[in-house]
Amino acid sequence: MPAEIIKQKSRGFICVNAHPEGCRRNVAAQVEVVRAGLPGNLEGAKNVLVIGCSTGYGLASRIAAAFGFGAKTLGICLERPPERGRTATAGYYNTAAFHEMAHAEGLYAASLNVDAFSDAAKRSAAEIIRRDMGKLDLVIYSVAAPKRVHPRTGQTFSSVLKPIGQPYHSRTIDLDSGRVTDVTLAPAGEEEIADTVAVMGGEDWRFWMDMLAEENLLAQGARTLAYSYIGPELTWPVYRDGTIGRAKKDLERTARELNAALEKKLGGNAWVAVNKAIVTQASAAIPVVPLYISILRRVMTEQGVEEGAIEQMRRLFFDYLAKGKKPATDAEGRIRMDDREMRPSVQQATAEIWPRVTTENLGEITDFAGFQEEFRGLFGFGVEGVDYAQPVETDTRWE
């Protein structure tokens, strides 16, 4: 496939192409964050499975494990490879870049481009783990998907982003025009709620952990984490108290059950880590959230506590998951990586700005420009040091 000039193509919160060099530089920048000031005596998990490894917190987790702990990593993702006349997805290019950098450091890295919900994916992963890695010390579950085909019944479930019980009226940003608009979301029906739990709840995490236990692929003291979000009260109607929140509560229930089983059998642990709101394609699709994140970014930057995905995962892995450390948890048994976002000073300043935002002052009192820049960067566009006028090879693949 000949090199070509790649220009961003997007519609709202959907970007339909990606820039391989921009994605590669994004991954390289995350590697450098992990390496910066790396403690000389740091030890951690050596065999790590990351389910949902190609973007966001999953990718950052894999980078932290590999370049922080020197871990062997197996990643599970579902990304579109490059085709004639069409670039790969950003997650595909991210994974290719990770493989390149890990192998250059002599680190084992393998990835499966499969549907993580399927039994076939689990069987393939078990074969690789047994053959190449040995028993797992750490399993990260970071899957974000709009649909799930149940492996036992064949039924297809689709998730929805809706409130529960009554309509929700609030404000959001139209990502195409940059206008602050009112939004009303109709409440979900019971079937939509159940389907969202089936896609985004804890059942598939449990299926993965059950399979690994049955195949004797979990090490003594093995740990597993799934990622979640709670956020402030102003987003609760569409998030914590909505369909997504119902699924996340199911995830938390699953964590408690898995934790009890792992403690009894292996002296291990299972946790939900509640992370900070960041710009992702998934978060950009949730009404209200882009406006909240735009305000939050400004407030946390001004207060000197802003973190991206990689900074948070560096802190999680180094301060909570390194050898000899057991993370403190809240009353519900969750690791609160959102502690800086939820500081009273941050939330108070955010709440004060929220009702004042208009289309006219959006750029002045929020960091919507930073939100847009980070959103473009997710797909490799607007990345510092990349000459977008130059042709680039799009047929980049991982081994």
Residue 90 CA to its chain's centroid (Å): 13
The C-alpha atoms of residue 37 and residue 35 are separated, in whole angstroms, by 6
| Closest among 203, 188, 309 to 254, alpha carbons compared | 203
DSSP one-letter string for 372-388 = HHHHHHHTT-S-TT--T
Please say whether the beta carbons of 80 and 395 come within 8 A. Answer: no
Q: Is 168 a catalytic residue?
A: no
Alpha helices in 219-378 (DSSP H): 243-266, 281-284, 289-302, 309-319, 344-353, 362-365, 368-378
Catalytic residue among 168, 239, 292, 388: 239
Residue 252 CA to its chain's centroid (Å): 17
The one-letter code for the residue type at 314 is R
- Phi, psi dihedral angles at 226 (to 5 degrees): -120, 150
Please say whether the beta carbons of 259 and 269 come within 8 A. Answer: yes
4 three-state secondary structure: strand
The C-alpha atoms of residue 260 and residue 252 are separated, in whole angstroms, by 13
Tokens 């299926």 map to which residue? 207
Query: Length of the chain in residues, anyone?
Result: 399
161 Cβ neighbours under 8 A, 6+ residues apart: 185, 238, 242, 243, 244, 285, 286, 287
DSSP one-letter string for 23-70 = HHHHHHHHHHHHHTT--TT----SEEEEES-SSHHHHHHHHHHHHHH-
Please say whether the beta carbons of 91 and 65 come within 8 A. Answer: no
User: Active-site residue numbers?
Assistant: 239
